[in-house]
Amino acid sequence: AEPSDLKDEL
Amino acid sequence: MNIFRLAGDMTHLASVLVLLLKIHTIKSCAGISLKTQELFAIVFASRYLDIFTDFISLYNTLMKLIFLGSSFSIVWYIRRHKLVRRSYDKDQDTFRHYFLLLPCFILALLINEKFTFKEVMWTFSLYLEAVAILPQLVLLQRTKNIDNLTGQYVFLLGAYRGLYILNWIYRYFTEPHYVHWIPWISGLVQTLLYADFFYYYFESWKNNKKLQLPA
């Protein structure tokens, strides 16, 4: 996973 | 997506539905803070700037649309709807919510993962969401008779935040390179703000009494 893939959260 | 994340999203969705139910069917927003609702609308508007540029999943896009649409329609209802606005506790809902915007924005400019427009706005939305419940909590303290729907609404919002923390813990142990200090700390602060409310919510539930927060 990419270090900044929190964007899949709401 | 793990079970904590899904449960968190569902409680968030349920909280919005409870609030819309109260406003739409009972035509009342008594005990609901317009200030908090306005902050939530700003939170979603600044967080979901990527809605038309980055496609993640149908679920993700739909939920974003729901949260954007519901938050703005709730604000519209309280401000503009003939009956609903009459039930608004304007004199009690006095928190100076505008004063939260600038500090959150400055903090987002200073502390972020990447200094780009979208990233700063995303970080701003995290900081703002962490404190957006404050006007609502202050209003609850001032409300003599907290009705069940209002209590459930705030409870579901708090539960949503708690479940997101469990989701982060789960992801931390199951995904590589999963470290995100900014959302974690602001999310933790946000959840802690509900601690006091949770205490009195469970007390009233245990003793089968009406919910009331000490002033």
- Which pLDDT band, with edges at 50, 70 and 90, does B215 fall under? confident
Tell me which H or E stretch contains B135.
helix B134-142
Q: What is the 3-state secondary structure (H, E, C) of B17-74?
A: HHHHHHHHHHCCCCCCCHHHHHHHHHHHHHHHHHCCCCCCCHHHHHHHHHHHHHHHHH
> Is B213 part of a structural domain of the chain?
no
- Which pLDDT band, with edges at 50, 70 and 90, does A5 fall under? low
Q: Alpha-carbon distance B86 to B107, whole Å?
A: 37
Q: Which residues of B touch A10 (CB under 8 A)?
A: 9, 12, 60, 63-64, 67
* Phi, psi torsion values for B194, nearest 5 degrees: -85, -10
Which residues are CB-contacts of B79 (< 8 A; sequence separation ≥ 6)? B34, B85
CA distance A4 to chain B (A): 8
CA distances to A10, B113, B119, B137 from B177, in Å: 20, 14, 19, 36
Q: Which residues of B touch A6 (CB under 8 A)?
A: 180, 183
Per-residue confidence (pLDDT) for residue B178, from 0 to 100:
81
Contact B9 A1 (CB under 8 A): no
Q: Does residue B49 have a pLDDT over 60? A: yes
Name the domain count of chain B.
1
CA B109 to chain centre: 22
Per-residue confidence (pLDDT) for residue B85, from 0 to 100:
96
> Is B62 part of a structural domain of the chain?
yes
CA distance A1 to chain B (A): 6
> Is B37 part of a structural domain of the chain?
yes
> Is B129 part of a structural domain of the chain?
yes
* Phi, psi torsion values for B148, nearest 5 degrees: -60, -40
* Phi, psi torsion values for B214, nearest 5 degrees: -70, 140
Exposure string over B21-45, b if 16+ CB within 10 A, otherwise e: ebbeeeebbbbbbbbbbbbbbbbbe
CB B78 within 8 A of CB B34: yes
Radius of gyration of chain B (CA): 17
Residue in B67, B178, B179 closest to A10 by CB: B67
> Is B212 part of a structural domain of the chain?
no
Contact B57 A3 (CB under 8 A): no
Per-residue confidence (pLDDT) for residue A6, from 0 to 100:
82
CA distances to B6, B17, B186 from B13, in Å: 10, 6, 21
Contact A1 B54 (CB under 8 A): no
- Domain with B109 in it: 3-207
> Is B215 part of a structural domain of the chain?
no
- Which pLDDT band, with edges at 50, 70 and 90, does A2 fall under? very low
> Is B163 part of a structural domain of the chain?
yes
- Closest CA relative to residue B140, chosen from B35, B213, B38: B213
Per-residue confidence (pLDDT) for residue B176, from 0 to 100:
85
pLDDT digits (tens, 9 = 90+) for B122-171: 999 999 999 999 999 999 999 988 999 999 999 999 999 999 999 999 99
pLDDT digits (tens, 9 = 90+) for B201-211: 999 999 999 99
> Is B33 part of a structural domain of the chain?
yes
Contact B57 A8 (CB under 8 A): yes
